[in-house]
Amino acid sequence: MKIDEGVRLDRYTTIGTGGPAAALAQPVSLDELHEALAWAHERSLAVATIGLGSNLLVADEGVGAVVLKLAGELASAHTERELLVAGGGAANAVCLHRARAAGLGGFEFACAIPGTVGGGVWMNAGAYGSDWAAILVRALVVDEDGARWLTPAELGLRYRHSELRHGQVVARGEFRLEPRPAEEIKATVADLQRQRKAAQPTNKRTYGSVFKNPDHELSAGRMLEACGLKGYRIGGAQISPRHANFIENADGARTEDALGLMAEARRRANEQFGVVLEHEVVFLGDLELPPL
Ligand SMILES: Cc1cc2nc3c(=O)[nH]c(=O)nc-3n(C[C@H](O)[C@H](O)[C@H](O)COP(=O)(O)OP(=O)(O)OC[C@H]3O[C@@H](n4cnc5c(N)ncnc54)[C@H](O)[C@@H]3O)c2cc1C
């Protein structure tokens, strides 16, 4: 198996920031995944899995862990009757393509989510009224103690949340879909992508929604817009002029810049609305927001 030490992770995150991992392992099968977990265990290193890095903020100083990026059969997808069976590292775009080719609908909402099956389980990813919890039958979760199939309830899936912890790897997922003509799927996807383009900075380097929507009449984006933060910049990172709940890598951004923007956004939302925003993006490495 390919294990590289000291690989920088900025190439593996959609925002394009982040320092090196202690090691990057790319297992292509369940056997190699067990091997990678044992390799980390022997060296007393923590383990974290990344998908397409589309919801990740990695410390500029790097991560003292073995980072796993699933490949080969752990990143492929196929259909079996009305089931979509996918590796944890399979890109949502690949899954959607397989589902459409088989005339299976239900995964269309994920066309707006540029991640993988495993990243979706971690966060119960969702959009346009659906989410992983609505279609996932079970996920194969592997850690150094072995492998277990878990249902959405056992995974604790709820709004942008699961009970998964680093060290637990989603190696496979099975989704229940339903027959739908490929042409209809194509039309729905085109429509959802049009809606996305109109509302979000889809052509910029971001990590998707920065904060979860609070329990408030305003969404996080509207709240930060009302705080006057659109276009606000620190270093190479800026709050998107198009949608205030996105941070863009405007020019050579560092994670430190994005973190500074998040701290300022939380401070202002708290000051103006009495709301404590909770971040949706996952932190990897020694990263922390200052207390309010
Ligand atoms: C432009 C844009 C739009 C977005 N829109 C949406 C949206 O509409 N809805 C939404 O929910 N999200 C959205 N996101 C965020 C992101 O795409 C999702 O959260 C996605 O599910 C993350 O998947 P990933 O594979 O990139 O995970 P990563 O960002 O690589 O990792 C995220 C978390 O998942 C864990 N993880 C990844 N793979 C595995 C695995 N195999 N096993 C165990 N843990 C794993 C990581 O350790 C990390 O904790 C958007 C992001 C961008 C950039």
pLDDT in tens, 176-185: 999 999 999 9
With a 6 Å cutoff on the Cβ, whether 122 touches ligand 1 is yes
pLDDT of residue 202: 87
The structure tokens 């392992």 sit at 25
Q: Over range 12-31, report the average pLDDT.
A: 98
pLDDT of residue 191: 97
| CB distance 63 to 22 below 8 Å | yes
pLDDT of residue 64: 96
Q: Does the pLDDT of residue 28 top 90, yes or no?
A: yes
Average pLDDT, the chain: 97
pLDDT tens profile 151-163: 999 999 999 999 9
Nearest CA to ligand 1 atom 11: 125
Which helix (H) or strand (E) segment is 137 a member of? Answer: strand 136-143
| CB distance 284 to 49 below 8 Å | no
Q: Does the pLDDT of residue 267 top 90, yes or no?
A: yes
pLDDT tens profile 44-95: 999 999 999 999 999 999 999 999 999 999 999 999 999 999 999 999 999 9
Instruction: Provide the annotated active-site residues.
Output: 160, 209, 280
| CB distance 12 to 70 below 8 Å | no
Q: Over range 247-272, report the average pLDDT.
A: 98
Complete DSSP assignment for 170-204: EEEEEEE-EE--HHHHHHHHHHHHHHHHHHS-TTS
Ligand 1 mutation target, pool 55, 200, 205, most atoms within 8 A of CB: 55
Contacts of 97 (CB under 8 A, 6+ apart): none
Q: Does the pLDDT of residue 1 top 90, yes or no?
A: no
With a 6 Å cutoff on the Cβ, whether 52 touches ligand 1 is yes
CA of 191 to the centre of ligand 1 (A): 22
Q: How does strand 136-143 pair with strand 233-234?
A: unpaired
Q: Over range 202-222, report the average pLDDT.
A: 96
Q: Does the pLDDT of residue 20 top 90, yes or no?
A: yes
| CB distance 118 to 70 below 8 Å | yes
**Spatial distance between the Cα atoms of 84 and 138, rounded to a whole number of angstroms:** 11
Nearest CA to ligand 1 atom 10: 125
**Spatial distance between the Cα atoms of 107 and 92, rounded to a whole number of angstroms:** 9
Query: For the whole model, what pTM was predicted?
Result: 0.96
Q: Which atom of ligand 1 is nearest to the CA of 12?
A: 30
pLDDT of residue 2: 81
**Spatial distance between the Cα atoms of 116 and 92, rounded to a whole number of angstroms:** 5
